[in-house]
Amino acid sequence: MIHLKQIEHAFTLGRKGNERHVPVLKGIDLTVNSGEIVTLIGRSGSGKSTLLHIVGGFIRPTSGTISIASQDTTAYTEGQWADFRRRHLGVVFQNFQLIPSMTAYENIELPLVLQGTAPTVRRKLTLELMEQLGIAEYSDHYPSELSGGQQQRVGIARSLILNPPIVLADEPTGSLDSENEEQFLQLLKSLNRERKLTLLIITHDDKVAAIGHKTLRIEDGRLLNQTDTRKLEVIHS
Ligand SMILES: Nc1ncnc2c1ncn2[C@@H]1O[C@H](COP(=O)(O)OP(=O)(O)OP(=O)(O)O)[C@@H](O)[C@H]1O
């Protein structure tokens, strides 16, 4: 489903004429199969976010190839990536990125509005998903009126509303307490089971890493070992 081959990335720092290239990713090969949860663990600064931003098309790698859902996205323009993301990818960020002036309901509905979905269909889909994620009662709440755990659920609902087959999550439990973290991890596991959602999650938290069918460790821009913690068949049975 996601195939990265020999991805390298260097950031350019410094003024023009005096630039420095700082290599951050140094030849990453990564495969995420359909219906799999892959967790990527590593220290701060190891290159996790850069890698996820490359998979989401927010950063163009210096070299290497990217293929997602059988499409070679390596040379996509920003416009092509935006279109591709709408059809294939949901993205959950650590700080939720909810729009403060919109209610929970409006935040979740927004991708459907932008897509031009009819109001009655929008309402049905949004309410159904809020019900499924246990946030229906917070419909009229603004983000500032929600707890961290509730905001995170709104964030994931918004990333799921267009029913993407793949979700990318950057430190999704970073600001949750342990009880909310546990609930959120259960939610991700059930979405994986019920919707066969493919998940790529980056984290520095062992508890989050443990929900992966496969856990990869990144160190100084290189993937180290690959641990198949459990077999997919066992998880899905
Ligand atoms: N836009 C940028 N310009 C220059 N350097 C950057 C940029 N973004 C990241 N870096 C550098 O790339 C390296 C990897 O950063 P990245 O954010 O991918 O790490 P990370 O593993 O996600 O860290 P954290 O867990 O702290 O979020 C760091 O040394 C960082 O300083």
* pLDDT for residue 237: 38
How many angstroms separate the alpha carbon of residue 48 from the centre of ligand 1?
A: 8
pLDDT in tens, the chain (237 residues): 999 999 999 998 888 888 888 999 999 999 999 999 999 999 888 999 999 999 999 999 999 999 999 999 999 999 999 999 988 999 887 766 789 999 999 999 999 998 899 999 999 999 998 988 888 999 999 999 998 888 888 988 898 899 899 999 988 877 677 777 888 888 889 889 988 899 999 998 888 999 999 999 999 899 986 554 444 444 443
How many angstroms separate the alpha carbon of residue 23 from the centre of ligand 1?
A: 10
* pLDDT for residue 167: 93
| Ligand 1 atom with least separation from CA of 204 | 25
- SS3 per-residue string spanning 194-205: HHCCEEEEEECC
- C-alpha distances in Å from residue 194, one per residue of 117, 204, 217: 24, 26, 27
How many angstroms separate the alpha carbon of residue 189 from the centre of ligand 1?
A: 28
Pocket test for ligand 1, best of 13, 15, 24 (most atoms within 8 A of CB): 24
* pLDDT for residue 23: 93
Query: Which residue owns the Cα nearest ligand 1 atom 7?
Result: 11
Among the listed residues 100, 87, 36, the one whose alpha carbon sits nearest the alpha carbon of residue 57 = 87
C-alpha torsion angle, residues 31, 34, 36, 39 (rounded to 10):
40
* pLDDT for residue 134: 83
C-alpha 64: how far from its chain's center?
21
* pLDDT for residue 230: 46
* pLDDT for residue 160: 87
Tell me the ipTM for this assembly: 0.95
As a whole number of angstroms, the distance between CA 68 and CA 184 comes to 26
Query: Which residue owns the Cα nearest ligand 1 atom 28?
Result: 45
What CATH code would you report for 2-100+160-236? 3.40.50.300
* pLDDT for residue 96: 67
